[in-house]
């Protein structure tokens, strides 16, 4: 089937669906000017940090405990790459779908906050967000717009301890509440699962797509490259998210909200 034919087929699935799960990764934010962290052009693709560490070592929970200055250095680099970025057409269209469907949920790996900035409310940030900090000692929390002017690592204003972003670092457990929310969404049922801009290397990210395929629920992948779920999905669009979602929206209706 041609790419245009796949777009028509996916648009038909979305038009009929009332309960939609989007699973998103760094690729959805590329057109907002953010780098991906894996794959071609990735921020840490095939290179070590200046300390000679893999990014998995530098951005691990163990490093945050033993050398928070190193972990914070690369967290701050990720935040700097997000700073000033705004939602793109893909984020806005997902938010628009939430307004007209019975249920639209976004399970995202991204810590950039762009889904919420676009207006999505039903967002499961499985890796947390760089915009919330918590003290490692007294657990005092605070929200931050960005890290500009922030002491690195920042001190807790309550106890003087070290604060860290509420993000899941390598080697750390996923947040229980986020996993429970995902389980509830799947238990209540979905009409289609779309994997958008993610390499699907983590089992908990590929899992909803695999589950849907096994249950006979329509599945879609939007990604220029190959991933572990590419051979499983019903419909595959080799396109970037900010190109594919406006095309799908136009096929569902004549006007694109991203152009308002």
* DSSP structure string for 72-96: HHHHHHHHHHHTT----HHHHHHHH
> Among residues 115, 127, 131, 235, which one is catalytic?
127
Among candidate residues 258, 244, 260, the one with its CA nearest the CA of residue 14: 244
Give kind and range of the element (H or E) at residue 71.
helix 68-82
Is 127 annotated as catalytic? yes
Look at the alpha carbons of 250, 253, 258, 260 in this order and tell me if their dihedral is positive or negative.
positive
Distance CA 69, CA 72 (A): 5
The closest alpha carbon to 247, from 74, 16, 80, 89, belongs to: 89
Q: Which helix (H) or strand (E) holds 15?
A: helix 3-16
Reduce the DSSP state of residue 165 to 3 states and report it. Answer: strand
Residue position matching structure tokens 């794959």: 39
Q: Are the C-beta atoms of residues 229 and 212 closer than 8 Å to each other? A: no
Where are the alpha helices (H) located in 101-202, listed in sequence order?
A: 114-118, 176-188
Q: Bridge-partner residues for 155, per DSSP?
A: 162
Which residues are identified as catalytic? Answer: 127
């Amino acid at each position: 089937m041609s790419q245009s034919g796949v777009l028509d087929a996916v648009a038909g699935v979305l038009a009929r669906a009332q309960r939609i799960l989007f699973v998103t990764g760094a690729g959805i934010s590329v057109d907002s000017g953010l780098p991906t962290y894996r794959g071609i052009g990735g921020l840490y693709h095939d290179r070590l940090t200046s300390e000679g560490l893999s990014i998995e070592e530098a951005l691990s929970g163990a490093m945050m405990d033993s050398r928070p200055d190193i972990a914070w250095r690369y967290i701050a680099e990720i935040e700097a790459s997000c700073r000033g970025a705004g939602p793109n057409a893909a984020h806005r269209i997902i938010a628009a779908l939430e307004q007209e469907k019975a249920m639209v949920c976004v399970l995202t790996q991204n810590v950039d906050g762009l889904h919420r900035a676009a207006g999505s409310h039903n967002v499961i940030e499985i890796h947390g967000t760089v915009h919330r900090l918590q003290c490692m000692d007294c657990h005092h929390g605070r929200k931050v717009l960005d890290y500009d002017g922030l002491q690195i690592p920042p001190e807790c204003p309550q106890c003087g301890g070290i604060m860290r972003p509420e993000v899941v670092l390598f080697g750390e457990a996923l947040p229980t509440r986020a996993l429970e929310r995902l389980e509830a969404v799947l238990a209540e049922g979905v009409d289609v699962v779309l994997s958008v801009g993610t390499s699907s290397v983590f089992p908990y990210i590929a899992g909803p797509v695999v589950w849907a395929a096994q249950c006979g629920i329509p599945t879609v992948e939007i990604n220029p490259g190959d991933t572990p779920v590419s051979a499983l999905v019903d419909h595959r669009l080799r396109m970037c998210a900010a190109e594919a979602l406006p095309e799908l929206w136009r096929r569902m209706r004549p006007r694109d909200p991203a152009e308002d």
